[in-house]
A = this chain, B = another copy of it.
C-alpha cells in the first residue's frame, strides 16, 4: 500500500513531507503541459527558473543556442524566444536544444519536487506514463498541484486525479488523502469531457480571454505521451520509454 497525498499548492507542503518520497509537479494550464511538449519535440534539457532575472542569467551561463521560454501574466516577455503555449514547442524549434523556462506557478511546483527522493513532472498528456514510473519507484507519492495564485485549481486537481486513476487501474493499492480522493472522483466524473472542464476553470477563462483557447484543447489531451520528465535538482531531463 502506497500513501498518495495531493496538495493544492506548493506552499501547502512541508519539506519533511517530501523527504524520501516521489513528488510529482502538475500544472496543466500550462507549464507542465508545455514541458512535456518540449521533450516530445526533442528538447534535451529544461532549466526551470523562478524569476525572469534568474532565467536570463541561466541563458547567459548555458550559452549560445539556449532557448528562453515562459510567461508573466500569461504572455512571454519581449526578449523571450517562446511563450507558455505547448503549441509553440515544435520539433523545428526545440530539437536538441536546451531550454530555460519560467512561469508564474508551475516552476515553483517543479522546484519543490527537488526536496523529494524522485521529482517528476506531469500533465494530462503524460499522466499515465508518470503514474507507471511512480509505481515502479515504490515510494509514497506526493502530487504537488501548482494551483493558481496560491489557490486550489480545478485543472491541476484533475491532473492529479488522472494520476490516481492510472495507478488504481494498474491495481496499485493506495491510501488516499481527502484531496486525492476528491481529485480521483472529479477525474472519473469528467474524464470524457476534459476540454469542457478546462474551459470552466478560472485560469481556463483567463487564457480564453488572452486568446489561448486552442491551448485548452491541447492541454486536455489525456495519455498521449510516454515522456517522463525527471527533475534532478537543477534541470529536468526526459526519461524516454
Binding site for B on A (CB under 8 A): 8, 12, 148, 151-155, 157, 177-179, 181-182, 185-186, 189-190, 200-203
Could you say which residues of chain B place their CB within 8 Å of the CB of A12? 151
Could you say which residues of chain B place their CB within 8 Å of the CB of A177? 151-152, 202
Could you say which residues of chain B place their CB within 8 Å of the CB of A201? 178, 181
Number of copies: 2
Cβ–Cβ contact B182 & A202, under 8 A: no
Could you say which of A157, A185, A186, A203 has the most chain B C-beta atoms within 10 Å of its C-beta? Answer: A185
Cβ–Cβ contact B181 & A182, under 8 A: no
A12-B151, A189-B189 given; A200·B182 CB < 8 A: no
Could you say which of A148, A181, A190 has the most chain B C-beta atoms within 10 Å of its C-beta? Answer: A181
Compute how far the CA of A151 lies from the CA of B8 in the bound complex, rounded to whole angstroms: 9
Compute how far the CA of A100 lies from the CA of B13 in the bound complex, rounded to whole angstroms: 34
Could you say which of A153, A157, A178, A203 has the most chain B C-beta atoms within 10 Å of its C-beta? Answer: A178
Closest to A158 in B: B182
Could you say which of A179, A182, A186, A190 has the most chain B C-beta atoms within 10 Å of its C-beta? Answer: A182
Which of B178, B186, B203 meets A182, CB within 8 Å? B186
Could you say which residues of chain B place their CB within 8 Å of the CB of A154? 178, 181-182
**Shortest beta-carbon distance, A112 to chain B, in Å?**
16
**Shortest beta-carbon distance, A172 to chain B, in Å?**
18
Compute how far the CA of A151 lies from the CA of B7 in the bound complex, rounded to whole angstroms: 8
Could you say which residues of chain B place their CB within 8 Å of the CB of A182? 152, 154, 157, 182, 186
